[in-house]
Amino acid sequence: EPEVTQTPSHQVTQMGQEVILRCVPISNHLYFYWYRQILGQKVEFLVSFYNNEISEKSEIFDDQFSVERPDGSNFTLKIRSTKLEDSAMYFCASRDTLSNQPQHFGDGTRLSIL
Amino acid sequence: AQSVAQPEDQVNVAEGNPLTVKCTYSVSGNPYLFWYVQYPNRGLQFLLKYITGDNLVKGSYGFEAEFNKSQTSFHLKKPSALVSDSALYFCAVRDTGANNLFFGTGTRLTVIP
């Protein structure tokens, strides 16, 4: 069964540095998402992306964050000038175009800011 | 506005017994409802969904869930629990006008041998 893949599985970064989290969505999916899960808390929506542009974003997704689909397979989340509170699991998800289909999630990237 | 409540942080059940993990929701339109399971160090795995039609939906690994519109609930059930069902379970809702999922806080299910 096709999967969403995320790299790296764990990223350790110094506070203030930039970090890029990478995702390869399922190949025929056209909707892409990033979520985050701070340790012990619930999964929170960050941003959705369709047709090469952001379709929705949450209050969390401020100017520090950006997303990009640099080629036909990758979908990236960039965090500029990381803060301690950015430490979390970041999940990428993708979905088929049919609106009643579920989102499929990757295994996540654990981001640790020191 | 969307919201999801999972009133139980932890559910313990003996192996072989039926299990229920509770979820209630609030949306402004018609809900799309989902259950996901998370095993340690893994992402969220889709279990089942309710979009429309039969209130009882069946999903992966023998799980099912019942949509109850009057009670705005979507409880997850399984007739006979397995030790391997022990995991973190998330209920999620998507309003028909929205694109993103809104998750509950999760329920940790422990099946005791």
**B98 neighbourhood in chain A, CB within 8 Å:** 56
Residue that has been written with the tokens 């990758």 in this structure: A74
Q: How far apart are CA A35 and CA A58, in angstroms?
A: 10
* Cβ–Cβ below 8 Å for A56 and B51: no
| Count of pairs with CB atoms under 8 A, one residue in A, one in B | 56
Among B45, B1, B47, B40, smallest CA distance to B21 is for B47
Whole-number pLDDT of residue A15:
96
Taking only the tens place, the pLDDT of each residue in B41-66 is 788 999 999 998 899 999 999 999 99
- Residues in B closer than 8 angstroms to A55, CB to CB, are 99
Contacts of A81 (CB under 8 A, 6+ apart): A16, A17, A18, A64
CA within 13 Å, CB half, B1? 1
The full DSSP string for chain A is ----EEE-SEEEE-TT--EEEEEE--TT--EEEEEEE-TTS-EEEEEEEETTEEEEE-TT--TTEEEE--SSS-EEEEESS--GGG-EEEEEEEE-SSTTSPPEE---EEEEE-
Q: What residue of A is the nearest CA neighbor of B39?
A: A107
Whether A18 has its CB under 8 Å from any CB of chain B: the answer is no
Average pLDDT over residues B69-79: 96
Residue A2 pLDDT greater than 80, yes or no: no
Measured distance CA(A18)–CA(A81) in Å, rounded: 5
Q: What is the pLDDT of residue B2?
A: 82
What stretch of H or E contains B59? none
Which residue out of B3, B60, B100, B107 would a mutagenesis test of the A interface target, given it has the greatest number of A Cβ atoms within 10 Å? Answer: B100
Instruction: Tell me the nearest-neighbour CA distance from B71 into chain A, angstroms.
Output: 22
Residue-wise pLDDT for B79-109, tens only, equals 999 999 999 999 999 987 778 899 999 999 9
Residue A36, token pair as written in the block: 């985050």
Report yes or no: B104 and B92 within 8 Å, Cβ to Cβ.
yes
Q: Is B77 on the interface with A (CB under 8 A)?
A: no
> How many of the other CB atoms lie within 10 Å of CB of A49?
23
